[in-house]
Structure 1
Amino acid sequence: MNDQTPSVLFVCVHNAGRSQMAAGWLRHLAGNQIEVRSAGSMPAEQINPIAVEAMAEEGIDITAEEPKVLTTEAVQDSDVVITMGCGDACPYFPGKRYEDWKLDDPAGQGIEAVRPIRDEIRFRIETLTAELLDQDPARA
């Protein structure tokens, strides 16, 4: 890695559940070592309240976040772009690292269904953080 702070963009259609939970985890686990963005191709009016509740159980407050529209600039400015089921809505730029995380959509789900999604996102974020910061995830 170079001396610049790596940046990650999380994208899902509504930017209300999965991408917001992922951004919350990354901010929590990496602090200011990684720049975090999230956006959606068709942003919802507000964050999924069940996603907020699930994250609050882990001591992470995402209530201040708002769904944002995906811009070409956000993709260009990010080193890693992680999509969560937005398909072709994400612009592609050569030289970026793209990953598509297959995750269930928490929309319309109860807290019991959202917890495993939250926990799967945490596991993936821990791995991503270790890769970007060149750490051993067992020691992080």
Structure 2
Amino acid sequence: MPTTHRPDLSIDQQLALRTAASNLGREFDGTFGVDTIERFLHGSYDEFAQRAAVPNYLPLLAERFARQRLRALAKVEGKHAGGVPVVLFLCTHNAGRSQMALGFFTQLAGDRAVAWSGGSEPAGRINPSAVAAMAERGIDISGEYPKPWTDEIVRAADVVVTMGCGDACPVFPGRRYEDWVLPDPAGKDVEDVRPIRNDIERRVRRLLTSLGVPAGA
């Protein structure tokens, strides 16, 4: 699968993006064409390049985010019938609250529902106190990364849960919205994050019940 030449990138970065495009091309063969896949991949790459701390991981992050966006677009366009609820957790930096909610939801829902997360002003990394607090519950969110939301991701969600993004939170007709009022864990130590974590777990469990999704252990 050819990838658009990017003279602004190094040879290694171009090769990595070409590999990513091939991976996505195989996964979405028959669903999206080359132009759409490359547009999403390169758009995702440019998004992360603006605030990347470790450039070597950019192609991998771009591939992961492009995959999520393409799956969302497939759902919006009726090209994918997953049949399970999709929940989107949104906060300001996508580094603490929304990531903890995503972690609990993914563990408790298993393959019975899908969750994504995003932020209005994505941070450069996940809040280390949130990572440590979740690790105490046996949930590893260290491999996650702050990312924005996009129109297709919001439109693909059945439920949008907002946590402090205020007027920046997107509003699309036909979505179910919930606003969770929670303290921002930014700058807090693990001890102060634990109550926020516990509140998020309770809310996630209630959300799963409302969706008719059995919660795992």
TM-score, normalized by length of structure 1?
0.92
Relative contact order (alpha carbons < 8 A, sep ≥ 6): 1 or 2 greater? 1
Alignment match of 1:65 (pick from 139, 144, 156): 144
Q: Percent identity?
A: 57
Which of 14, 20, 40 aligns to 2:119? It is: 40
C-alpha distance in structure 1 between counterparts of 2:213 and 2:185, whole Å: 31
Q: Deviations over 1:5-28 (max 9, x none)?
A: 000000001000000000000001
Q: From 49, 53, 70, give the equivalent of 2:132.
A: 53
2:207 pairs with 1:128? yes
Is residue 159 of structure 2 the alignment partner of residue 80 of structure 1?
yes
The answer to whether residue 87 in structure 2 is matched with residue 19 in structure 1 is: no
SS at match of 1:8: strand
Gaps of 5+ in 2: 1-81
Three-state SS of the structure 1 residue aligned to 2:117 is strand
Contact 2:109 / 2:213 at 8 angstroms: preserved in 1? no
Q: Which structure has the bigger radius of gyration?
A: 2
1:118 deviates by 0.2
More helix by share: 2
Measure, in 2, the Cα distance between the counterparts of 1:40 and 1:134.
Answer: 25
Unaligned runs of 5+ in 1: none
1:28 matched to 2:107: yes
Which whole-Å CA distance do the structure 1 matches of 2:212 and 2:111 have between them? 11
Paired positions, count: 136
